[in-house]
Copies of this chain bind each other. A is one copy, B any other.
Amino acid sequence: MVFTDIATRTYNHNWRLDPIVRSLLDTDFYKLLMLQMIRQLHPQVNATFELINRTRSVRLADIIDEAELRAQLDHARSLRFGKKELIWLAGNSFYGRRQMFSPEFIAWLGEFRLPEYELHRRDGQYELRFHGPWTHTMMWEIPALAIINELRSRAGMKGRGRFELDVLYARAKAKLWEKVERLSALPDLVISDFGTRRRHGFLWQRWCVEALKEGLGERFIGSSNVLLAMDADLEAIGTNAHELPMVYAALADGEEAVASAPYRVLEDWQAHYGGNLLIALPDAFGTASFLRHAPEWVADWTGFRPDSAPPIEGGEQIIRWWQDKGRDPRTKLLIFSDGMDIDSIEATYRHFHGRVRMSFGWGTNLTNDFRGCAPFATDDLDPISLVCKVVEANGRPAVKLSDNPAKATGTPAEIERYLRIFGEAGRQTAEVLV
């Protein structure tokens, strides 16, 4: 006789909702680091975040049911940090430091909930915006992206047979494991999971993290996903994001203040954090400009996270700058995190090996690479380039120039203004796939 657990089966066929985000810790670690600082220094700033689908050809509003999307967003809004989660945040060491988060911040988190959202459909896309205090809207970025990406995955799998899904996941697992085997040939590799926002799904991200842990051992240093880090006793990885210089620049009065905004971010950051958290993100308004005008002390920081220049060129540019400043790059850290995949990780590792410390933040191509995995050809599961960016701060437009003009955000007029301030040196357009 075949035994079927009738309660489980009945539940599986009747649940009201299969929540995508089930914990407020299911977010990227750097959000919490930034949030603690923002709450202290900028509690009154309002910031608007907005969903931007750079892959316009994928008409998300035609693919994802609006009622389902609302149900998931509403479910995320119902979440609170759990008691166990807050105890862990308070008691765990992060980046070798105890009490990274102040008791007062932890207490504030205990009251936190995600703010309202504004959702419309236009031209086959969703317009999804979050208005309100920066301390609240910024926390939507990761869950909003994870929800939309997973709803798209689910839509792409809807109606597929049990066997098809079996082959799909078998091939995705085999594909990832081939990558892990190639990575395991790099003895000094340091790599972490940065794939929360773009993941195929939560359970899949968890599998990917497990695969890196099993296959790479100590070379896999952790996950940007706080929930996975907690559950698997991994390090939570991450530092800071573009939203800091973008908001600082948006709030700045006058061109000089805009030009110095990126460095004021670093000043504030180093007042809060130290050590391996002193990683500068140089490309918000172009890396060349950032380096040229950077104060001397920026060279004392631990490293950089080049996030839009081609990794080898971007890394070389920073190494030259350190050398010009009389620093030894072998003591410095470069974190590569822009659309990395097995080929670019291997090439970058081999190029810089021995010349600089390196770490890789592996995102979309770790947690959402189903290309060619479906047993019958489809591109419904190919990753898209979806971001959720700050677009306004206290009513003023926010801008990102990036080293790659295809990744710039902001109104054309504001982008023009920023280009006049920061210059165009070193920017080059590359296709943004993920």
Complex CA–CA separation, A350 to B394 (angstroms): 70
Q: Shortest distance in angstroms between A16's beta carbon and chain B's nearest beta carbon?
A: 17
* Chain A interface, >50% SS class: helix
13 contacts between A and B (CB under 8 A): A3-B8, A5-B8, A161-B214, A163-B210, A163-B211, A163-B214, A164-B214, A167-B174, A167-B177, A169-B170, A170-B177, A171-B173, A171-B177
- Taking the complex as formed, is A133 at the interface, i.e. its CB lies under 8 A from any CB of chain B? no
Residue A156 CB within 8 A of the other chain: no
A215 close to chain B: CB less than 8 A: yes
Closest 7 CB pairs between A and B?
Answer: A170-B173, A174-B174, A170-B170, A171-B174, A5-B5, A163-B214, A170-B174
* Interface residues in A82-139 (C-beta closer than 8 Å to B): none
Residues of chain B with a CB closer than 8 A to A375's CB: 177, 214-215
Chain B residues lying within 8 Å of A5, measured Cβ to Cβ, are 5, 8
A166 within 8 Å of B (CB atoms): yes
Q: Which A residues are within 8 Å of any B CB, using their own CB?
A: 3, 5, 8, 161, 163-164, 166-167, 169-171, 173-175, 177, 210-211, 214-215, 375
Q: How far is the CB of A220 from chain B (nearest CB, A)?
A: 13
- What distance in Å separates the Cβ of A217 from its nearest Cβ neighbour in chain B? 12
Copies of the protein in its oligomer: 2
Return the chain B residue nearest A171 by Cβ. Answer: B174
Residues of B within 8 A of A166 (CB): 173
With A174-B174, A177-B375, A375-B177 as given contacts, are A167 and B8 in contact (CB-CB < 8 Å)? no
Distance to closest chain B CB from A381 (angstroms): 16
Closest chain B residue, CB of each to CB of A162: B210
Given the complex of chains A and B, what is the CA–CA distance between A281 and B286 in angstroms? Answer: 75
Cα–Cα, bound, A149→B169 (Å)? 27
Chain B residue contacts of A171, Cβ below 8 A = 170, 173-174, 177
Query: Whose C-beta in chain B lies nearest to the C-beta of A178?
Result: B171
Closest residue of chain B to A5 (Cβ to Cβ) is B5
Q: Which residues of B contact A170 (CB under 8 A)?
A: 169-171, 173-174, 177
Give Cα distance in the complex from A346 to B81, angstroms.
58
CA distance A391 to B210 in the complex (A): 51
Cα distance, A164 to B161, chains bound together (Å): 26
Chain B residues, CB < 8 A from A164? 214
Give the residues in chain B near A3, CB-CB below 8 Å. Answer: 8
A87 to B: closest C-beta gap in Å: 19
Residues of the B chain whose Cβ atoms lie less than 8 Å from the Cβ of A169: 170
List residues of chain B with CB within 8 A of the CB of A174.
167, 170-171, 173-175
- Which residues of B are found within 8 Å of A214, using beta-carbon distances? 161, 163-164, 167, 375
